[in-house]
Amino acid sequence: MTLEWQNACKTFTDKKAVDNLSLEVSEGELLVLIGPSGCGKTTSLKMINRLVQPDSGAVFVNGRDVSEVPATELRRHIGYVIQQVGLFPHMSVADNVAAVPRLLKWEKDRIDDRVKELLNLVGLPADEFADAWPSRLSGGEAQRVGVARALAADPPILLMDEPFGAVDPLTREVLQREFLRIQSTLGKTVVFVTHDLDEAIRLGDRIAVMNEGRLAAVAAPGELLLNADPFIRDFTGEDRALRRLARLSVGAAIGEATPITAAGFSGGGESGAPAGSVRTDATLKEALSMMLEAGETSLEAVSPAGRRIGKLTMEDLLESAAGTEAS
Amino acid sequence: MRERFDVVPLAALFLGAASFLMPFAALKENRVVDGLLLNGFQLAGPLYGTVAVLTAFGVLTGVFLMKNGSRRRLLYAAAGVVCFWLTAALLVRAGMMLTGGAAPRVSPAIGFWGLPAASYVLIDHSKKGRWRMWILLVVMLLPAALLLAGGRGEAISVFREWSARKGRFFDELIVHIRLFGMAVISAAVLGIPLGILASRDKRIGEPVTAFVDAVQTIPSMALFGLLMAPLAALSRTFPLLRAMGIRGIGAAPALIALTLYALLPIVRNTVAGLASVPLSAIDAGLGLGMSQRQLFYRVEWPMALPHVLTGLRTASVQAVGNTAVAALIGAGGLGIMIFQGLGQAAPDLILLGVIPLILIAVAVDRSWGFMIRRWVSPGLDMKGLSA
Ligand SMILES: Nc1ncnc2c1ncn2[C@@H]1O[C@H](COP(=O)(O)OP(=O)(O)O)[C@@H](O)[C@H]1O
Ligand SMILES: [Mg+2]
């Protein structure tokens, strides 16, 4: 399923919440909408499921103008995780997750099976959580239920409005990792709203930055950190170069394509690489930190198995940070 | 630690003990003379009196010493039952001590009220499960009922008044229950949809709230009076209405006034209940694809229910009392006995009206409590509402 905003505008009283937004999301893509609070992210998102009617312009789902689709019909086939979780407090966790299948009048057995499957998918054992009341859940558990509820009827499109906003950074990272795992198997078309740049970089296939209702930039995460536009530079912060290095592996910098792995995160030291060397699956940010720590300008690059691959120098890091290296 | 220091039942225990030592009942020769005031100790006699006082000391010491909360609550239950038994026993003793007179009777004094009050509070604070509550009630009421049924209650003043007008009493009781019941039902049938409309549309909401607020500020006597004139006029003009029993006095104006009074808590709470539904829940409901109707029945109404039911509870309990005033315009009910008693300066007759009034109010309040626990989702927070 594809999505598209075409010159969409929305004004509340006299404030332009969304100003001439044109943007496309392709099938299976995870697009992150990011920007300061009040810049129009939620409003843009709600245009897709018709919770907000654009004043002018249009929104298309799979090439079809959404204003021609009955609102309830449209919404039952678009997963929606709302900003403040918004679980129904008077319904059990299972009933919350079953909300859309019930609207679609599924058979009871089918609903029960689906609820169990989904709770287990989002890491909440059904035996333990199905009958729980939302008020008893922790912030992280509530957000998982919110995601499960959105996925219930297996919609091809998922709208997520700051879905992990209300939890501590540690839980947030766990939720992000699990969401990436789920998304890698489901392959939904996702619009993901956040105001957390690290989250955007970690999750997004592309990142759309909004400012005062307008689209300021759309780019893959690596490119975005190289964007010279003053607002984008300011938004991505003083440590944008470090963020860029955090996205690249040592292997990529020395011409040996290597994905960053969880083990690579722990860098050389403990994970078995000898002193003065760095694993190819570590990030360049970690490599820089190790150089600074050791007072060296170069490190041996070794494979995760410990085989020597080449040399990583400060010049490699400078080049990567400047962005001449393809990301 | 908070559990260790429960002030309310402790105060009730002291109240019970004090009530035993305060004047309990007056022995009178007829309805109007001042009688001989006796306290519990005097009525029980030195032997039983001493036993009772020592038991009270024992219980108080026990409460202070006991660390185990559930065992302490068991002690409250026992003390509550004993307080109630003591009330019945003392009344019977007083009846046995009566000597001659035209219409001899036992008139309750302060102690008579203190003991059952203490009993009520103690039992209330001992409750654990619903079943245990019923067993407790039976254990508590059985000996008292047996004593009174055994004819020993004859001498008690309220019973004298009662046996003098049994038939009338039950008629008025039924009239009372029917009147307040119909008023609450009409107020609910009108008030809930009105509240829903008011919360949907400001143009309806503002005048409706202004109206129900205004009604509440009119004293009930004045409201009954206000309704008499127009209804009398209507009745004169339209014979059909007169045939239906609509006149300036009687049940019709009373029912209208009582309904108007019951409207306020119901409308108010319906509006408050629907306003309490967070925007996030509404957004979620719509976002998942609910129609407006589905949103109302599946999300808004169940979430507003705690408020709505609390409003009905308040309205019902108030209506029980307000209905007594309706007797003044000829609607009947327990108020008849109260106002007759006031007119004849006969406190016993007043009590014959007031005691069932209190019992009905408590029963109605408890029934709503039961219904609220049954109907409101356990996932909802009832804090801030009297559950
Ligand atoms: N229903 C509404 N009525 C009036 N103003 C609104 C409404 N929804 C959003 N706005 C305003 O529009 C702007 C954009 O809001 P929103 O899309 O929620 O921003 P974001 O999600 O990026 O924080 C804000 O200034 C907000 O106050
Ligand atoms: Mg928002």
For residues A21 and A106, membership in a common domain is answered with yes
Query: What pLDDT digit, counting tens, does each position of A183-193 carry?
Result: 988 999 999 99
pTM of this prediction?
0.78
For residues A77 and A217, membership in a common domain is answered with yes
Mutate to test the pocket of ligand 1, among A5, A12, A14, A47 (most ligand atoms within 8 A of CB): A12
Between the CA of A84 and the centroid of ligand 1 the distance, in Å, is 14
Say yes or no to pLDDT of B5 above 60: no
For residues A95 and A73, membership in a common domain is answered with yes
Q: Which amino acid is at B89?
A: A
How many CB atoms neighbour CB B203 within 10 A? 9
| B375 touching A (Cβ < 8 Å) | no
* pLDDT of the residue at A3: 95
Among the candidates A236, A261, A293, a domain finishes at A236
CATH number at residue A313: 3.90.1280.20
For residues A225 and A264, membership in a common domain is answered with no
For residues A25 and A93, give the distance between their C-alpha atoms in angstroms, rounded to a whole number.
32
| CA distances from residue A99 to A93, A147, A233, A290, B231 in whole angstroms, order as listed | 10, 13, 43, 51, 52
Percent of chain A with pLDDT over 90: 52
CB contact under 8 A, A134 and B302: no
How is residue A89 written in tokens?
């407090």
Q: Where are the domains of chain B?
A: 8-153, 166-375
**DSSP sequence for A215-227:** EEEEE-HHHHTT-
For residues A268 and A286, membership in a common domain is answered with yes
In a domain, A222, yes or no: yes
**Contact status, residue B257 vs residue B220, Cβ threshold 8 Å:** yes
**Contact status, residue A155 vs residue A99, Cβ threshold 8 Å:** no
For residues A202 and A223, membership in a common domain is answered with yes
Percent of chain B with pLDDT over 70: 90
Q: Which amino acid is at B117?
A: A
In a domain, A327, yes or no: no
CATH number at residue A55: 3.40.50.300
The partner residue sitting opposite A100, judged by closest CB among B283, B289, B378, is: B289
Which CATH architecture group holds B166-375?
Orthogonal Bundle (1.10)
Q: Whose CA is nearest to atom 14 of ligand 1?
A: A40
Average pLDDT, chain A: 87
Best CA proximity match to A161, nearest among A174, A147, A140, A179: A147
For residues A240 and A226, give the distance between their C-alpha atoms in angstroms, rounded to a whole number.
8
Q: Confidence class of residue A147 from pLDDT cuts 50, 70 and 90? A: very high
**Contact status, residue B311 vs residue B323, Cβ threshold 8 Å:** no
In a domain, A105, yes or no: yes
Ion ligand 2: residues, Cβ under 5 Å: A 42
Ligand nearest to the Cα of A18, by number = 1
* pLDDT of the residue at A325: 41
For residues A153 and A221, membership in a common domain is answered with yes
The partner residue sitting opposite A90, judged by closest CB among B280, B294, B377, is: B377
Q: Which amino acid is at B119?
A: S
Ligand nearest to the Cα of A84, by number = 2
Write b or e for each residue in A260-286: b if 16 or more Cβ atoms lie within 10 A of its Cβ, otherwise e: beeebeebbeeeebeeebbbbbbbbbb
Q: Confidence class of residue B150 from pLDDT cuts 50, 70 and 90? A: low
Among the candidates A236, A253, A278, a domain finishes at A236
Instruction: Determine the structural domain holding residue A258 and report its residue range.
Output: 244-322
Which helix (H) or strand (E) segment holds residue A178: the answer is helix A169-186
Q: Confidence class of residue B248 from pLDDT cuts 50, 70 and 90? A: low
Q: What dihedral do alpha carbons B54, B59, B61, B66 form, nearest 10°?
A: 160
Taking CA–CA distances from A81, the nearest residue in chain B reads B284
Mapped onto helix, strand or coil, the DSSP state of residue A194 is: strand
**Contact status, residue B378 vs residue A95, Cβ threshold 8 Å:** no
Mapped onto helix, strand or coil, the DSSP state of residue A187 is: coil
A320 CB near ligand 1 (under 6 Å): no
Q: Confidence class of residue B182 from pLDDT cuts 50, 70 and 90? A: very high
Which helix (H) or strand (E) segment holds residue A34: the answer is strand A30-34
Ligand 1 atom nearest residue A161's Cα: 21
A17 CB near ligand 1 (under 6 Å): yes
How many CB atoms neighbour CB B46 within 10 A? 9
For residues A164 and A134, membership in a common domain is answered with yes
**Contact status, residue B18 vs residue B105, Cβ threshold 8 Å:** no
Alpha helices in chain B (DSSP H): 7-21, 40-65, 69-97, 110-126, 130-149, 157-164, 166-200, 202-217, 220-237, 239-243, 251-275, 279-287, 292-295, 301-325, 335-343, 347-375
For residues B387 and A96, give the distance between their C-alpha atoms in angstroms, rounded to a whole number.
25
In a domain, A13, yes or no: yes
Query: Alpha-carbon torsion B214, B216, B221, B223, what sign?
Result: positive
A45 CB near ligand 1 (under 6 Å): no
In a domain, A29, yes or no: yes
For residues B266 and B196, give the distance between their C-alpha atoms in angstroms, rounded to a whole number.
11
| CA distances from residue A291 to A239, A249, A275, A300 in whole angstroms, order as listed | 18, 15, 11, 11
The more confident residue out of B371 and B250 is B371
Q: What are phi and psi of B24, to 5 degrees?
A: -100, -45
Taking CA–CA distances from B378, the nearest residue in chain A reads A90
For residues A55 and A197, membership in a common domain is answered with yes
For residues A254 and A198, membership in a common domain is answered with no
Judged by average pLDDT, the poorest of A161-170, A256-265, B45-54, B233-242 is: A256-265
For residues A206 and A261, membership in a common domain is answered with no
The CA distance from B69 to the nearest CA of chain A, in Å, is: 25
| CA distances from residue B337 to B73, B109, B292, B326, B343 in whole angstroms, order as listed | 39, 20, 52, 12, 10
A213 CB near ligand 1 (under 6 Å): no
The CA distance from B372 to the nearest CA of chain A, in Å, is: 14
* pLDDT of the residue at B386: 55
Among the candidates A179, A206, A236, a domain finishes at A236
- Model ipTM value: 0.81
Query: What pLDDT digit, counting tens, does each position of B70-105 carry?
Result: 788 888 888 888 888 888 888 878 877 877 666 677
Query: What pLDDT digit, counting tens, does each position of A253-310 carry?
Result: 887 766 666 544 444 444 556 677 888 888 888 888 888 888 888 888 888 777 888 8
Taking CA–CA distances from B282, the nearest residue in chain A reads A86
Residues in chain A closer than 8 A to B289 (CB atoms): 71-77, 100, 103
